[in-house]
Structure 1
């Protein structure tokens, strides 16, 4: 079996795990996909200086379909405040597009360590559910624009949809949780589209990437993850109604903590 097919099959398995936990716990897949690809991609011939960039870019590309599906579901339920979405749209696009070109200036090892720290922080948030005190006044347009740039930039650099950052921020701004989650799903789609575009354009200048890449995106991994995650996510959603999700979320947070610490000393 050649390395390309092996990576595809392993990413099918990875996508199934990501899809199940996404449905069960309502989390984005990037926190799992990025570290998993960092370990898998060397088998496909990726050099160490390319690893983190390709893992992050591929993770962002998988979020396009998953976030679109989520956004459509929230839209049907009336959970997306579209006037607010329009106000943060410009900042999201700018931040996500810039993320790919900024990441190019960061050595792969440093980017991996930054991601590891981010994973540990998100694990702590998931385990202890820190909730910011709500503000009584919505921020100005300038404040929302600036915040959306920073959030989209961080999301693009970390290869995630941004919900773990955006939802607490919107909740702090006084938005109802269901609307914050719905708006996050819509902005996650935009972050994924803009960020993926940036990583494709940035990667086209790199001539020593292995075959089956589109810019920094590794297509066999993308295809494997998307196919299985879309199929398995509904199973996780059904399990969420009967499984002890609070306990599982803390166990999952512990797993993320271990992954983050391991990545720091990769």
Structure 2
């Protein structure tokens, strides 16, 4: 019971970060679920040895609901720049299948340390390279000729989908920095991360369920592939509440503060994943 109470609290926090920062909940759900599973079952148990895959897969499944609700919220507020979002959607879905497939065959520790390395690089990039804390002058428009070409868009989409699905963190992990450097304000960059998380969530979840169906047998009941169905239900309920609470603050945070809080939250998650 205590396990699900913890998940409900952090599911609510995940909902807040989803709507305000486009995290898709993964940066909250993955560390919490990973740590809790290892603590409860031990690192040498079948569930402990697959803890990172279960955490990533369950987080990816939760994103279907969280990103969908957050997208609807931002769409109503007029924050989503669909001209930049639509070209990436199909390529992200394809990349998500590849990323999830890779995560199902690698050791849990490898997935964990990849998660840690990517977090560290994202934080350093945001702090040291111009264009994140303070955005560039303006967002590119379809008429100005500065949008990426078709091949570049395809490569970006495939990379975003693969990394996001592999780590279970949604579109935010790459799309917020990408759009920020194109000049988007934080509210628009985080809003775009939510619809871009949907193809990751749908394609990634299907892959985690289908490819890991036989591997999940030792994990016990209530698992569909690597997805923990009971944890999923509790996290979705918490996420719904968090999105309702966090939605009240959409567009109200000063842009520079919004960017700094985004990086600060990533740093907190990084520390959590480094702790034994």
Same structural fold, with TM-score higher than 0.5 when normalized by the shorter chain: yes
Find the counterpart in structure 1 of residue 148 from structure 2.
139
Find the counterpart in structure 2 of residue 217 from structure 1.
227
1:70 matched to 2:70:
yes
Return closer, same or farther for 1:23/1:52 CA change in 2, 3 Å cut-off: same
Find the counterpart in structure 2 of residue 55 from structure 1.
55
SS of 1:139's equivalent in the other structure is coil
Answer yes or no: is the 8 Å Cα contact 2:21–2:172 preserved in 1.
Answer: no
Q: 1:25-81: per-residue Cα shift (whole Å, max 9, x none)?
A: 554421111011111123266533201000001111111111111222333344445
**1:114 Cα deviation after fit:** 1.1
Q: State which drifts further: 18-27 or 202-211.
A: 18-27
Match of 1:156 among 165, 175, 199: 165
Gaps of 5+ in 2: none
**1:21 Cα deviation after fit:** 4.2
1:19-30 matches, within 5 Å, as: 19-23=15-19, 27-30=23-26
- Aligned-residue Cα RMSD (Å) equals 3.3
Answer yes or no: is the 8 Å Cα contact 2:63–2:170 preserved in 1.
Answer: yes
Find the counterpart in structure 2 of residue 12 from structure 1.
8
Q: State which drifts further: 243-252 or 64-73.
A: 243-252
Q: 1:184-239: per-residue Cα shift (whole Å, max 9, x none)?
A: 32121111111111111122021212211111100111111110221133323436
Return closer, same or farther for 1:240/1:72 CA change in 2, 3 Å cut-off: closer
In the aligned structure 1, how far is the partner of 2:243 from the partner of 2:77? 19
**1:129 Cα deviation after fit:** 8.6
In the aligned structure 2, how far is the partner of 1:187 from the partner of 1:252? 18
In the aligned structure 1, how far is the partner of 2:157 from the partner of 2:81? 15
Aligned residues: 262
1:34 matched to 2:30:
yes
Gaps of 5+ in 1: none
Answer yes or no: is the 8 Å Cα contact 1:8–1:223 preserved in 2.
Answer: no
Find the counterpart in structure 2 of residue 167 from structure 1.
176
Find the counterpart in structure 2 of residue 97 from structure 1.
97
Give the TM-score normalised by structure 2.
Answer: 0.79
Q: 1:127-165: per-residue Cα shift (whole Å, max 9, x none)?
A: 779526577611111110111000110000110112231
1:229 matched to 2:239:
yes
Give the TM-score normalised by structure 1.
Answer: 0.82
